[in-house]
Amino acid sequence: MSRKGLPLRVYRVASALLEPAAAALLLVRKRRGKEDPERLAERRGTASVKRPNRPLVWLHGASVGETVTLLPLIAKLQKRGLAVLVTSGTVTSARLMAARLPAGAIHQYLPLDVPRYMRRFLDYWRPELCLICESEIWPNLLIEAQRRALPVVMVNGRMSERSFARWYKMPRSSRFLLSCFEACLAQSQADAERLAQLGAPRVSVAGNLKFDVPAPPADPDTLAILDGMTTGRPVWIAASTHPGEDELVLGAHLALKRHLPKLLTIIAPRHPQRGSDIAALAEANGVPVARRAGGGSPERDIDLYVADTLNELGLFYRLSQVAFLGGSLIDGIGGHNPIEPAKLGCALLHGPFVHNNAEIFAAFDQGGGSREVADAQALAGAVHRWLNDPASARQAARAAAQTAHQLGGAINRTLQAIEPLLMRAALEQRETAP
């Protein structure tokens, strides 16, 4: 036990003793709409569907971005005849998985990191392999997996400078937990170096799986209707915005309207429940606005369209010539993934605060597919240049798409790295077959 380090030992004991508090926390989260009341038992490790009677690979992603990243890997595993279980921790990710998981794949909520919950979960599902996306390091999950000799691999691994600084303060705990991974397949050389410095014994660079994720879909009938409504109008989208950015986007819109009277601005907030707040902000500034969640449409007399629904960004990226990626004009978020709009024909803009995706944005900037803007005035100027010069916008969009294509291939490197573990699962499948 001593090699775990004091912080980890304290966490282990506290998480067991505070199990009643964890159950109470779930009830509080349910009242706030942050838990699915019909599936609350899953958060305590109780399965809601039957386990398939064949070797099973368990993949985990924290929320929407991580679970989407796993989709190409899920498809490849299913082609090998393996059962696939996907877990995540948010209601929005569960809804997205319901829409985008391939037939036969199972979604469950990840149990809270309580020892008894994790034991219950693992005893029922009995996976042959666990693939954890990015940087989800849950101590009880890893300890219980190690006790069962369950191989765990970190895929699309990342370790930001901020996370590294936190883990660096607990060297024995971080070294022990990272040693529980059979392998850590990092997104970049910088991520690999940080993981190795923290004590991960088996680290390699596989690249970023996000570049291999198919572009988000769009209903063709809905797309045709909205495309007809917006034909002849310059359209741009501010995607995945956060409080504090909506005001900046609205300021940019008001500045642009003086030069582009037919302009349509789309705001897709990161959290759709903020749609009514954004609409109220627009109305307070005299901007004609409609909300997608309220049944509104981008009619000719609408200047600002709030796309406050789930799983429809693929639709709105296809309508837009320019996409601004939110979480980047205010500090603390780190910028959101620009790969999806790059694959769907958008020229890209972002703010200066992109530490969560710094290498991705740097690649797009260097390739000419994206530009950095510092504030509302710079945002308005960049959008105007591209909307006023469609040929230049198309050139930037092609550059973004080319960069996204060139940086693909992580899926094949990841599969190659885990091939011995997949072969082991396939062998067990043959040995247990009747």
Active site residues per annotation: 66
Question: Which amino acid, residue 374?
Answer: A
Nearest of 383, 408, 406, 379 to residue 396 by alpha carbon: 383
Contact between 320 and 268 under an 8 Å Cβ cutoff? The reply is no
| Cβ neighbour number for residue 430 with a 10 Å cutoff | 8
Token pair, residue 243, equals 């409080």
Q: What are phi and psi of 46, to 5 degrees?
A: -90, 125
Angle, alpha carbons 125-127-132 (nearest 5°): 110
State how far the alpha carbon of 100 is from the alpha carbons of 222, 411, 414, in Å: 18, 18, 21
Residue-by-residue DSSP string for 43-66:
GGT--SSPPPSS-EEEEE-SSHHH
**DSSP alpha helix (H) spans, 202-346:** 220-230, 246-257, 275-284, 313-319, 339-343
